Amino acid sequence: MVSLSPKRKTFAKGLTDPAPQKIALPILEGYLFQPVAELALLTAESNYSCLHLTNGKKVLVCKTLRSMEALLHPFPQFVRVHRSHIVNLHLIEKYIRGKGGQIVLQGGRSVSVSNSRKADFLTALERCYRQSF
C-alpha cells in the first residue's frame, strides 16, 4: 500500500506531480489548455484578454487582464509592464530605455512600459537574468 503525504501526490511507479506547465483558459467554445512557455504577450481587450502566442497566433480569452495576471502569478517570468500589457520576460529580444521604455519581443512586436511600472519591470528583469540593469 502506498501512503500519500498531504503535500505530495504519488502517481504510477512513484512519480510525483510536477509543477503545472499548462494553464486552462476560458474561451468562447470552452477551455483551451495552453503551455505557459508559448505565451509571449497578453493585451487588454475591454473585459477580455488577447493572448499573443510564440507561433504568431492570437487567442481571445474570457478573462480580464487583472484575472490573467492573478492566474500567471506562479510564473515569475510574466510581468505587467503597462495597464494593457503583460509580457513574458523569457521572450524579450530588446529593451529600449526612455521615460518608460519600449520592449521588443521575439518576432518584432513592440510594447510600451509605463513610467509607473518601469521600476517593477527592471526589478523583475534583474531576478530573471540575475544581473542588475
Can you give the CATH number for the domain in which 96 is found?
2.40.50.1020
Decide if 12 is inside a domain: no
The model's pTM: 0.81
Q: Residue 28: give the domain boundaries.
A: 23-129
Q: Evaluate if residue 90 carries a pLDDT over 70.
A: yes
What residues contact 57, with CB distance under 8 A and at least 6 apart?
none
Instruction: Determine the Cα–Cα distance for residues 112 and 121; give it in Å rounded to an integer.
Output: 11
Residue 109 resides in a domain: yes
For residue 105, how far is the Cα from the chain centroid?
Answer: 13
In a domain, 66, yes or no: yes
- Indicate whether 75 pLDDT > 90: yes
Q: How many domains, in total, are found in the chain? A: 1
Tell whether 1 is covered by a domain: no
- Average the pLDDT over 79-102 and give the result: 96
What the block records as the C-alpha cell of 59 is: 487567442
Please give the pLDDT value at position 13.
Answer: 52
How is residue 43 written as a grid cell? 493585451
Judge whether 65 and 44 are in contact, CB under 8 Å: yes
